[in-house]
Chain A
Amino acid sequence: MTDRRRRFEAQALPHLDAAYNLARWLARPPLDADDIVQDAMLRAYRAFDSVRGEDVKPWLLTIVRNCFLTEVGQRKRKQDVPLPADSETELADPALIAGDPDPEATIIQMDTHRELNDMLAALPSEFREVLVLREMEELSYSEIAQITGAPIGTVMSRLARARALLKKNWHLSAEGSRHVMQ
């Protein structure tokens, strides 16, 4: 095994799930998260000699995001068919939903997962990506700025707006379901 390969397996591949999670939250069908991540990992491997250890995760996610944007551009040029709306996405793998012995609780929990998934998917993508990077990947403002190519101030205000919007939508939907029940 070459030294680069060894370093790549030790430093970059541990972030594969993070890469895939980001790709899934960015890409809507017919774009394929697997293709994007496959492409991104190969590009990352080829350029790996240029990166320092501590910076691997944001660097890798930057590549994933760029591969996603490239795919979007190619598809637009090729077909000129609009991509489906963000909300037309299926719920994630049922395996992601924790097993619960109480069927009623399971249904409520599945509803929560589905509803939140749809709500996140319906957010404008620049809001969705900062939420994924901050709340799921726990990246710092400067790392998110690096990945999205936006100034830190913009990252901060996007994050604030994304959080406020998600909170508002979540409360509205909770109120809505209470009305239905009454």
Chain B
Amino acid sequence: MSCNEDLRLQAYFDGELDASAVLEVEQHLKGCTDCATLLADLEATRQLIRQDAPYHRASTALQESIVASLDREEGVQTPSPSRLSFSKRFLSGAASGAGATALAAALAFFLYLPQADPLAGDLMNAHLRSLMSDHLIDVVSSDRHTVKPWFAGHTDVSPPAADFVKEGYKLIGGRADYVDGHRAAVVVYRHGLHVINVFAWAASTEKLPGEVTRKGYHIVCWKGADLDYCAVSDTGMDELLDLVRLIKQQ
């Protein structure tokens, strides 16, 4: 049913091949209608599942019951403040979230539909892609005087690239990327075990998604003077907002 060539094509479709194998498959696809058909089928099946299959989310009752069991495990007798912040964080809409007030104070950000936003999806994909392949960093440096000039030569924009190691956000490098039609410069930070990608591109009139959480990844977007920014990570929303605040203040 599935010969090796089919499995290789599937691996190509799933983004599991290295660059040289990708080139081979793409060459092969030009001349093989069977494989082109199979590729279209794979895409159609994926679209079908992603658009029409139910995605089951945990109910508020389940969330609260889990938090209560963690409280018991910790030996907490009274309802702890963490319980409130947790519930708020996970009843996430674009405007909710514990950090929303802090962010609103610091930034002019733009609320936008969190679910149907292609930019948010594209940002998340770019973030995941950067973690999965060896394409996290093009220029490795914790020195802003290295990263920022590198952008000038490799991307359309040159966002500030400050190190916030004292605050827990270590600058680890920069990258050129492509998000939702924008050629983006990406400043990469490490916070604990988490990678934070801060995308920046030339300011457009496009609405930005504000604060969004998707499948456990947080996205925070804001408009700067002449650049649009989006920070993406699986670290906590509050931690991400902390970094955004630092970038904004520099």
Which A residues form the contact surface with B (CB < 8 A)? 1-2, 5, 8-11, 13-21, 24-25, 33-34, 37-38, 41-42, 45-46, 52-54, 57, 91-93, 96, 109, 112-113, 116-117, 120, 131, 134-138, 140-141, 156-157, 159-161, 163-164, 166-167, 170
CA distance A171 to B51 in the complex (A): 17
Q: Which of A52, A113, A134, A138 contacts B52 (CB 8 A)?
A: A113
- The 6 nearest A-B residue pairs measured at CB: A53-B193, A92-B54, A10-B236, A14-B216, A24-B56, A160-B2
Are A45's CB and B56's CB within 8 A?
no
Q: Which of B58-66, B140-148, B177-185 touches A?
A: B58-66
Across the interface, A116 reaches (CB within 8 A) one of B11, B52, B70, namely: B52
CB contacts (< 8 Å) of A135 on chain B: these are: 45-46, 49-50, 53
Given known A20-B57, A160-B10, contact A37–B62 (CB-CB < 8 A): yes
CB pair A17 B2 closer than 8 Å: no
Are B69's CB and A16's CB within 8 A? no
Report B-chain residues with C-beta under 8 Å of the C-beta of A17: 55-58, 215-216
| Chain B 22-59 residues near chain A, CB threshold 8 A | 41-42, 44-46, 48-50, 52-59
Report if B239 contacts A (CB, 8 A).
yes
Instruction: Among B2, B7, B14, B48, point to the contact of A170 (Cβ < 8 A).
Output: B48
Least CB separation from A143: chain B residue: B132
Return 14 A-B CB contacts under 8 Å, by A number: A1-B80, A9-B82, A14-B217, A16-B63, A17-B215, A20-B62, A34-B65, A38-B65, A41-B70, A46-B73, A92-B56, A112-B52, A160-B7, A161-B1
Are A159 and B10 in touch, CB under 8 angstroms?
yes
| Min C-beta distance of B164 to chain A, whole Å | 18
Q: Which of B173-211 contact A (CB under 8 A)?
A: 192-194
Main secondary structure of the interface of A (DSSP, over half): helix
Name, among B192, B217, B236, the residue most crowded by chain A CB atoms within 10 Å (CB to CB).
B236
Known: A140-B16, A161-B2. A14 touches B49 (CB 8 A): no
In the assembled complex, which residues on chain B have CB atoms less than 8 Å from the CB atom of A134?
14
The dominant DSSP class at the B interface is helix
What residues of chain B lie closer than 8 Å to A164, measured between beta carbons? 1-2, 41
Residues in chain B within 8 A of chain A (CB atoms)? 1-2, 6-7, 10-11, 14, 16, 41-42, 44-46, 48-50, 52-59, 61-63, 65-66, 69-70, 73-74, 80, 82, 86, 90, 128, 131-132, 192-194, 213, 215-218, 234-236, 239
Residue pair B1, A38 in contact (C-beta under 8 Å): no
> B235 to A21, Cβ gap below 8 A?
no
11 other contacts beyond A19-B58, A93-B56, A135-B46, with CB at 8 A cut-off?
A5-B74, A11-B235, A16-B58, A16-B63, A34-B61, A53-B192, A116-B48, A138-B128, A163-B45, A164-B41, A166-B48
Q: How far is the CA of A13 from the CA of B215 in the complex (A)?
A: 11
Instruction: Select the residue from A17, A91, A117 with max chain B CB neighbours within 10 A.
Output: A17
Q: Which residues of A contact B52 (CB under 8 A)?
A: 109, 112-113, 116
> Contacts A9-B82, A18-B216, A38-B65: A131 and B55 contacting too (C-beta < 8 A)?
no
- CA A6 – CA B155 in complex, angstroms? 38
Q: Which A residues lie within 8 Å of B235 (CB)?
A: 10-11
Minimum CB–CB distance from A16 to chain B (whole Å) comes to: 5
